Structures are given as C-alpha cells and as structure tokens.
Amino acid sequence: MRKPSDGAAQRTRRAFLTKSAALAGGGAIAAAGGARAAPLAIPQSNQEPGRTIEETAYGMPSKYEAHVRRRRTDVFKNRQNLSDWSMTPLQHQPGIITPNGLIFERHHAGTPDIDPDRHRLVIHGMVKQPLEFAMDDLTRYPSVSRFHFHECSGNGLTDWLKPASTTVQQTHGLLSGVLWTGVPASTLFEEAGIDPRGKWALFEGADSSAHARSIPLEKVLDDAIIAYAMNGEALRPENGYPVRVVIPGWEGNTSVKWLRRIKVGDQPWHLRSETARYTDPMPGGKWRQFSMVMECKSVITSPSGGQKLKGPGFYEVTGLAWSGAGKVRAVDVSFDGGKNWREATLEQPVMDKCLTRFKVGWNWNGGPAMLMSRAVDSTGYVQPTVADLQKTRAIVGFVQHHNAIQPWAVNQNGEVRNAINQA
C-alpha cells in the first residue's frame, strides 16, 4: 500500500524528468544535428475539434495535473480533522502566487459555511462609537490589493533535528503567496475613533473555535487589511469567507478568518491562543510569547525532496524566499553543504512581505551534492541554520517558527533527500 505522499513524489519526479529530458533533447539536436528514429507525427489535437465552450463554467486544471493537490498533514498526524492542517504543493508552483485551490489550510474547528448576506462585523471596546458592518458596507469602501506571503507559525515543525518529511510540500507547505484585496483596517478604526488608551485590538472569528488573537494597534494601523478577496475572487470558505483580517508578514493564525468582531483594548488578552499555543519553548523552561513576525526564510523548491535528477548536466535551481520584516534583499545558494555560496538571481518584482522567486543555474557533475539556500532581508537579517537557532531557543516538543536553512542532499543516482540538520 503506497502512502499518498509517495504517489506525489513519484509524479513530481516524472514532471521533473520530463522537463530535464526536453532540455537534454534540445541540446542533443543542436550539438549533433542528428535525426529522430521516426519523424514527428501530427498530434491528434490538430486533427479534431476541441471541447466547445460551456455556457457558464468555473475552469479547472487539466486532468493531467490531477496530482497537484493540497495534502493534509501526513507526517504529524492529528487524531481528528477539525483542528488540522493541509499543505501547499510548493514543488509544483512556479512564480510567487499560489492558486486559491492550493492555498494551505489551518483551522481550529473546521470550515464554517457563512452566508455573506447574514454576516456582520463589529468593532467596539475602546472606541468612540461602536460600529456594525454588513459585507455590502465593507465592499463599498476604497480598497487596496497587496501581494503578501502567508505562512503558518508551525511550518516545518516536524523537521528540526532530523528528517521526518520527504517532500518540500511536507517540510514547507504551510506557505502560500496571495494577492489580498480588502479595506485597510485603519479605515474602519478611524471611523470608529480609537480611544487614546487603546493599544491592542482583539480579532475574533465566527468559526466554531471563535479563534482570537491580540494584535498591537501599531501593526493594525500600519498595514492590516480587512480582506474579502484573494487572487481575484472572493475568499474561499477555508480561507475565511466572507471576510478575514490579514496581518502581513505575521504568523498565519493572527490573520483571523471568518472575522466577526474587533475589540480595542489597552492590554493584550493573553488567550489560550497566545499562551498555551503559538508560544515558543525557550531555555530554562520558559516560553516566548507574542512572537508573531515570520522571520526571513527560503527554500529550494526544485530540485527538492523526493525528486530525481535525470543525469549530469544543467539544472535551474529555484526556490522561494520571504521575510515578515520587509523585503528579500538577496538569496545565496550552496551546492557543497554550506562551505561555499553563490548569489542567486531574484526574479522581479521583489515586494514587501511577499514570496520572492530566486534562480541559479547549476551544472551537476553527477557526484554527491548538498543544496541549500540562505536568504537575507532588508533589515540585514541572515537566515540561520538549525544550529544557530539552537543557541538561543529550546527545540523540544511542538516547536514553532522554524526558519532555518533547508539542506537537500543529492546522491550519485540523482535522488534528492531531506537533510535537515545533517549537513
């Protein structure tokens, strides 16, 4: 019985080989001026009409792309699927935008089905005038659209000290790139009028966990978005339909989905979600609290775990880099386990708190190699190794905020394996 992740890895490998073979084939023709065993036949698709246009439709990917799926966590398995998560297939994602059907999920009590005509958002507490908004009200305000990465604080939690995951979907798939559209949160706060004592805002969901987080007002007024759309359409139910807050660059759960209530206060609430959960174990039995910024990080998505190189020759090594503290300034790639590094090319545009695509050409000589990427952000922060993080944190149990360098080991057969903390 094959595990689902094995199937994904095999199909990934097939896609990768096909791409490599095409490159190699082109090279062979140019170099040798040779001929095929049989001339190219006219494809069947040239010789018969295609499908007609449907009167209405929501377009779906090709049936040949059916292996590109969001997958529920299968390394750390939850005993129920209400408070659970599913992961984005980053190994199949070109560019910096994740299609809506592939954006990772993390819910605390399942996905609600909310009628937008009945949904209400309120802002109250330390405000001059408590206000209620219907969805029709929110969509009438001047809107903003911004590209941002979205990452769960638990991304990578299964793979700190030794490899547990096979694919980059399993190691890094609690990550997506999204164009969010909505009202700047500052618009609604300004309309309600903030009491001068107000320093924090509580955001609370209409889901069955009523998930809530305390966020400093400085961040809310700077760049938070009350979002009703993503990537050119309404939010998907699993991503907060009909409205959520987006806290750019901060751990995903602060961007409370199915948003029903905002309350302004002078102190944080210290809820379970910010004491017993979403805190980081530290030396001496301590816990780091309100660690909400997602620090600078990168990962090579191709070649990545579970894939296989076709043979020696040229490969474009590519991946994603991001930082919740600003823009990606540079990404370096090592092929020898971190001894020597080459600066990669950053694909434009490079945006604030957004996925950035990096690329570097590599001629594989057929021998063992250890691939790593290391990002630097606009504050000068350099992506650390696990060993660097261990100097200040306690890596015990269910540890969040893993932004360490991800090594991928390539053996002489071209097989790519997760080598976290092994380099």
Partner 1 sequence: MQSTRHKLLLVLVAGVFSGCAGMGGAPAKSSTGIYLGATGPHPVQPLADKPRFGKAISEADVAAWNIDVRTSDGAGLPPGRGSVAQGRQIYAQKCAACHGPDGKGGAAYQYPGALFGGIGSMTKVPRILTPGSMYPYAPVLFDYTRRAMPMDRPQTLSNDETYALTAYLLSLSGLVPADAVMDAQSLPKVQMPNRDGFIVDDRPDAKAVRCMTNCK
Site for partner 1 in 17-76 (CB under 8 A): none
* Binders in 96-155 for partner 1, by CB under 8 A: 108-109, 122-124, 129-134, 137-138, 140-142, 144, 146
Q: Does 279 bind partner 1 (CB under 8 A)?
A: yes
Q: Does 287 bind partner 1 (CB under 8 A)?
A: yes
Q: Does 208 bind partner 1 (CB under 8 A)?
A: yes
Q: Least Å distance between CB 304 and partner 1?
A: 22
Q: Least Å distance between CB 167 and partner 1?
A: 23
Q: How far from 408 is each of 102, 104, 265, CA to CA, in Å?
A: 24, 23, 46
Residue from 7, 22, 162, 190 touching partner 1 (CB under 8 A): that is: 190
Q: How far from 230 is each of 141, 142, 150, 172, 298, CA to CA, in Å?
A: 17, 16, 12, 21, 23
Half-sphere exposure of 16 (CA within 13 A, CB side): 28
Q: Identify the sign of the CA torsion 371, 99, 251, 343.
A: positive
Residue from 43, 49, 285, 367 touching partner 1 (CB under 8 A): that is: 285
Taking CB under 8 A as the rule, which mask of x and - marks residues 296-335 in contact with partner 1?
---------------------------xxxxx--x-x---
* Binders in 397-416 for partner 1, by CB under 8 A: 397-398
162 burial (CB, 10 Å; 0-12 / 13-18 / 19+) is exposed
Q: Least Å distance between CB 377 and partner 1?
A: 9
Q: Does 383 bind partner 1 (CB under 8 A)?
A: yes
Residue from 10, 100, 209, 422 touching partner 1 (CB under 8 A): that is: 209
Q: Which of 413, 104, 37 is nearest to 252 (CA)?
A: 104
Q: Locate tokens 């990606």: which residue?
A: 328
CA distance 277 to 280: 9
Taking CB under 8 A as the rule, which mask of x and - marks residues 328-367 in contact with partner 1?
--x-x-----xxxx-x--------xx--------------
Helix (H) or strand (E) holding 62: none
- Strand 71-72, strand 84-87: pairing: antiparallel
